[in-house]
Structure 1
Amino acid sequence: MHPMPELIPMLKQLRLSGIMDSLEIRNRQAIDEKMAYTDFLALLIQDEVARRTQRKFDLRIRRAGFRNQKTLEDFDFSFNPAINKAQIMDLATCRFMEEKACVLIVGPCGTGKSHIAQALGHCAIRQGRDVLFTTQTKLLGQLQAARATNSYDRRLNTLAKVDLLIIDDFGLKPLRTPQDEDIHDLIGERYERRSTIITSNLDLSEWRDAFPNKLLGAATIDRIRHGAYCVVLDGKSYRTTKPLPKPQKKEVEKRVKSSKN
């Protein structure tokens, strides 16, 4: 009698139904290679562990909310040789997360700030960490909406507990009250408890200017910068524009005639 029909309900009860995906192949392999029962069982368990690991990885990637799948493997360090590759590869170990430190990535538009931030988030997910990528505008909009529905504390607590929070485009838009208070509260909750990556077009010396309340801004930035790693990007923009196509000869002659008329 074939054991498969009897196995299916039992595997489902044990939440091991994924084993069915490779059971037939592994069973044939065990017969061909005359495997011991324990070796056959070990292969099935390894398959199940690999499946669950991949499923958790895929779930974390979806929850992270990355704009796109940016990794360090596809970042062109040669485009701007001044970028400190050694520093970024050291950050890729995610040792800064053990230190509960922030990573601040600053530089002009198009120099790869968002790419590197998302790539570091990808590295954290590979290590089994939960990551959330968001922009300053989206983050503050969510907190404002939560305040309107009396769920601010719950939303703030969720943001405070994520292993790695990535805030993109800090200071791109000036903060208004109570946005500056929201940022202050969030940074305060995460301070020395969780790591945060922040990208900005502003120089670090200009960050306080984004806050309407200068005292609140000073306190917030002081917490952000304490023990933080700063990555300064400079050079050409990766966002190159394509040259416009040259007009055909007939089109040029047509324009000339039109201008004479």
Structure 2
Amino acid sequence: MAKADGSYIKEIAKIERQHLLILDDFGIQPFDAKSRAALMEIIEDRHGKTSLIITSQLPVSKWHEVIGEKTIADAILDRIVHDAHRVELRGESMRKKRKMEPENSYQ
């Protein structure tokens, strides 16, 4: 429906104008056909022009299956990983650590 009233195009245009796009919690749930197409469009438009940060608790090795549709997943991931800088964090969750600290420790 959003495509019919033009709001989809306006939202995509807004995203394209941003110098930095952050996709937080990437891969929490599998992509359906519409979200996969939207992701492909966003990644294609930004590729080589602007910056993208992706955070995920899902290992990169699982991104293919979350995106689904092998050919589109290949295209998306090829654009994402080309010239990417990957930072992999390890250890206990900071939320969990902070919850265990006394409340006075932040002052």
Query: In percent, how many aligned pairs have the same letter?
Result: 35
- Matches of residues 221-260 of structure 1 in structure 2 within 5 Å? 221-240=77-96, 241-242=99-100
The structure having more radius of gyration, on CA atoms, is: 1
Residues 1:155 and 2:19 are matched in the alignment: no
2:79 aligned counterpart, secondary structure = helix
**1:159–1:165 CA contact under 8 A, matched in 2:** yes
CA positional deviation for 1:205: 1.4
1:193 aligned counterpart, secondary structure = coil
State the match for 1:170 in structure 2. 26
Structure 1 residues 151 and 208: CA distance shift in structure 2, 3 A? same
Instruction: Return 5+ residue gaps in structure 1 as ranges.
Output: 1-144, 243-261
- Aligned counterparts of 1:214 and 1:146: Cα–Cα separation in 2: 26
TM-score (norm 1): 0.36
- Aligned counterparts of 2:87 and 2:51: Cα–Cα separation in 1: 15
Q: Which has the higher contact order (CA 8 A, sep 6+)?
A: 2
**1:161–1:190 CA contact under 8 A, matched in 2:** no
For the aligned residue pairs, the C-alpha RMSD in angstroms reads 1.5
- 1:207 alignment partner, one of 56, 63, 66: 63
- Matches of residues 84-233 of structure 1 in structure 2 within 5 Å? 146-147=2-3, 149-233=5-89
- Aligned counterparts of 2:27 and 2:4: Cα–Cα separation in 1: 24
Give the partner amino acid of 1:174: P
Aligned residues: 98
